[in-house]
Amino acid sequence: MPLLQTCKLTAFYGDFQALYGIDASLNVGETIALIGANGAGKSTFLKAIAGLIPSPADSVLLDGKPIGSRPAADIVKLGVALVPEGRRLFPSLTVEENLLIGCYGRKMQGPWTLDRVYSLFPILKERRASATPTLSGGQQQMAAIGRALMSNPRILLCDEISLGLAPIIISDIYAALPQIKAEGTSVVLVEQDIVQAMKVADRVYCFQEGRQSLEGRPRDLTRDQIHRAYFGS
C-alpha cells in the first residue's frame, strides 16, 4: 500500500478550479518530483495534502486512511510536514526559535533534533540567535527545511525550495537531501528546476493546467515527452 495517495483530488480557490482530479501516490522511502509550468497547480497540490486547502475526506489517504478534510494542524501531527513556498519563516522568532516551533505540534522521538538539524546545516547554528529577515535566501531556505524536519515527519513536502537561489546554493541545499532520505523520510518535491528534480527523484509527475500530464521514472522519460507534458502540444 502506498504511504500517501490522492484520489481524484480537486481544489478550488473561490470559484477558480486549480486541480482537476489528481491521482498520485507516494511509496515509503520514495522521492517524487512534481514539475510543471507556473500555475499548473503544483503548489496547490501540496497545500491540499498539507490541509491548507479543504478537500473531501477520502481524496487524500495516508496509510490508507482518509485525511483530506483534516485541518493543517492535525496533518502535521500525523507526520506530514510542508516547507512552504517562499520559505515563510516567522520574523518575530530567531532562527533557533523557528526551528523549535517546528516541533510544537508533534513532539515525536526521532532522528531530527536541534543538534541534528544544526549538523545538517551548520550555518544555522552560527546564526541561531539572528532574526530571520537578516538571513540570505539560501540560509532562510535551510532554516525552513530544518523547521519542517523538527517535527520528524514521515513525509516532507518541499515547495519550490530552489526558487530565487543561485545555482551553488541550490546544490548545497540539495546536498542535504540524501541525509534526509537516509533517515527514512519520503519526500515530495515541487520544482521548477527540472534538471535538479530529475537528478534526485525516483519518480516524476508533470502537471499542466491542473491536470496530470505525465508520470514515470526519470531514466524512462525522453526530452520530447517532458517538453510536451510541460508545455502542452
Partner 1 sequence: MTGWLDALIQGVLLGGLYALFAAGLSLIFGVMRLVNLAHGDLIVLAAFAVLVVAGKLGLDPFVAVLIALPILFVIGFALQHVLLNRTLGRELLPPLLVTFGLSIIIQNGLLQIFSADSQRLHSGAIETASIPLGGGIAVGVVPVLTLLSAIVVIVLLNFIFYRTSIGRAFRATSDDLEVAQLMGIDHRRIFATAMGLAFVAITIAALFLGLRANFDPTIGPARLLYAFEAVIIGGIGSFWGTLAGGIVLGLAQTVGARIDPEWQILAGHLAFLVVLVLRPRGLFPRAQD
44 binds partner 1 per the rule CB under 8 A = no
Q: Which of 101, 123, 214, 221 binds partner 1 (CB under 8 A)?
A: 101
Question: By C-alpha distance, which of 202, 204, 230, 226 is closest to 216?
Answer: 204
Q: In whole angstroms, what is the distance from residue 35 CA to residue 29 CA?
A: 20
Between 7 and 131, whose beta carbon lies closer to partner 1?
A: 131
Instruction: Kindly tell me which residue out of 36, 41, 68, 84 binds partner 1, with binding defined by CB under 8 A.
Output: 84
Span 111-150, contacts to partner 1 by CB under 8 A: 131, 133, 147
Work out how close the CB of 45 gets to partner 1 at its nearest, in angstroms, rounded to a whole number: 15
Residue 73 within binding range of partner 1, rule CB under 8 A: yes
Q: Can residue 72 be called a binding residue for partner 1 (CB under 8 A)?
A: yes
3-state secondary structure of 60: strand
Give the CA angle between residues 212, 216, 222 to the nearest 5°. 100
Q: Confirm or reject binding of residue 14 to partner 1 (CB under 8 A).
A: no
User: Residue 54 interacts with partner 1 (CB under 8 A)?
Assistant: no
Which of 58, 97, 202, 215 binds partner 1 (CB under 8 A)? It is: 97
CB 151 within 8 A of CB 7: no
Question: Coil, strand, or helix at residue 37?
Answer: coil
Q: How far is the CB of 148 from partner 1 (least distance, A)?
A: 8
Shortest Å, Cβ 211 to partner 1? 26
Strand partners, 187: 31, 156
Q: Which of 6, 45, 95, 106 binds partner 1 (CB under 8 A)?
A: 106
Q: Residues touching partner 1: how many (CB under 8 A)?
A: 27
- Nearest alpha carbon to residue 174 among 4, 204, 187: 187
The DSSP element (H or E) to which 85 belongs, if any, is none
CB-nearer residue toward partner 1: 122 or 133: 133
Answer whether 65's CB lies under 8 Å from 78's CB.
no
- Where helices occur in 4-126 by DSSP H, the ranges are 42-50, 72-77, 95-101, 114-120, 122-126
Question: Nearest distance from residue 88's CB to partner 1, in Å?
Answer: 5
Closer to partner 1 by CB, 7 or 52: give it.
52
Strand-pair category, 65-66 with 60-62 = antiparallel
Which of residues 34, 49, 76, 135 is near partner 1 by CB under 8 A? 76
CB 206 within 8 A of CB 213: yes
Using CB under 8 A, list all residues that contact partner 1: 50-52, 71-73, 76-77, 81-82, 84, 88, 90-93, 97, 100-102, 104-106, 131, 133, 147, 151
